[in-house]
Structure 1
Amino acid sequence: MDTALQIHVGADGNGEDLAELITMLRNELLQLDVDEVRPLRTAPPPAGSRAEWGIDPAGLVVVADRSIDILSRIVGSLRAWRERADPRPAIRLEIDGDVVEISDVSAEQADQTLKYFLQRHAALREQT
């Protein structure tokens, strides 16, 4: 069974900088053993509208196997990407309504927060 990890990147600067950050992150995530990396959709269009779903320019959805090993690799890649970015962007991760946000924290604090996030999902995977 697959899971969808939503990633939202918050970055200072202009839209071109953000687009470049998202493209680099997407390319890195595609190197992993994931099924898909796609743009994050926003709310559906108003009733009667001809428009498609909107796209969040600062977001991605990673669809992958539910294994904690794959999730760990995705989060590890995201953490390494964030550490290389200058300035370091804030990130928001969500899986099945469980959200973690990392912004102005040290690398050690970010690592600890992501570790707990992974541990919660490892426990959930074992229950299913």
Structure 2
Amino acid sequence: MENTIRIRVSCDVFDDDLAAMVDGLREELDQLDVDDVRPLDAGPPPPGARGDWAADASGLAVIAEKSAAVLPAVVRTVRAWRLRARPRPTIRLEIGGDVLEISEGTDHQADRAMDLFVQRHSLQRHGGETARSEP
């Protein structure tokens, strides 16, 4: 299981405002039982770029040895933060190449998509087996 949950936030605001939004999310994620929360790497700088190019202010990497175990808490935190954020940002979650992006739609649709994302990764952790409940 991949031990990094990548989170990207995008919103139609100034860069400084976006950085402040992401910092607020980072503070909330730091309260969880994770190993680390840090800015995503920005990748290599373009030719001729100057200044700090090491971090991407719009993204976070949540490092957790047992990411499947903490994923529900991470998603709950991101979900609650997104509902409070103004303007409402687009959220992109990624684990091992599996991506969930929430931008538009109702809160119910966003909740359902996030629940399915968590379930999918819980199933991967348990070898693809589904739990059955008796009626």
C-alpha change, 1:87 and 1:100, in structure 2 (3 Å) is same
- Is the CA contact 2:64–2:70 (under 8 Å) kept in the aligned structure 1? yes
- Is the CA contact 1:35–1:65 (under 8 Å) kept in the aligned structure 2? yes
- Is the CA contact 1:29–1:74 (under 8 Å) kept in the aligned structure 2? yes
Whole-angstrom CA distance in 2 between matches of 1:41 and 1:67: 19
Higher strand share: 1
RMSD of Structure 2 on Structure 1 (CA):
2.3
C-alpha change, 1:19 and 1:82, in structure 2 (3 Å) is same
Uncovered stretches (5+) of structure 1, i.e. residues with no partner: none
Whole-angstrom CA distance in 1 between matches of 2:109 and 2:80: 14
TM, length-normalised to structure 2: 0.84
Aligned residues: 126
Deviation >6 Å, runs of 4+: none
TM-fit CA distance, 1:57: 1.3
SS at match of 1:33: coil
- Is the CA contact 1:66–1:125 (under 8 Å) kept in the aligned structure 2? no
User: Deviation per CA, 1:55-88, whole angstroms, max 9, x where unpaired?
Assistant: 2110000001325341100110000000000111
* Matched AA of 2:72: S
> Is residue 86 of structure 2 the alignment partner of residue 86 of structure 1?
yes
* Matched AA of 1:33: D
Aligned counterpart, 1:114: 114
Aligned counterpart, 1:20: 20
**1:26-37 matched pairs, under 5 angstroms:** 26-37=26-37
Whole-angstrom CA distance in 1 between matches of 2:105 and 2:20: 23
- Is the CA contact 1:44–1:52 (under 8 Å) kept in the aligned structure 2? no
Aligned counterpart, 1:123: 123
Higher radius of gyration, 1 or 2? 2
* Matched AA of 2:103: S
Uncovered stretches (5+) of structure 2, i.e. residues with no partner: 129-135
Aligned counterpart, 1:99: 99
Whole-angstrom CA distance in 2 between matches of 1:73 and 1:90: 19
SS at match of 2:81: helix
**Identical columns (%):** 48
Whole-angstrom CA distance in 2 between matches of 1:105 and 1:56: 26
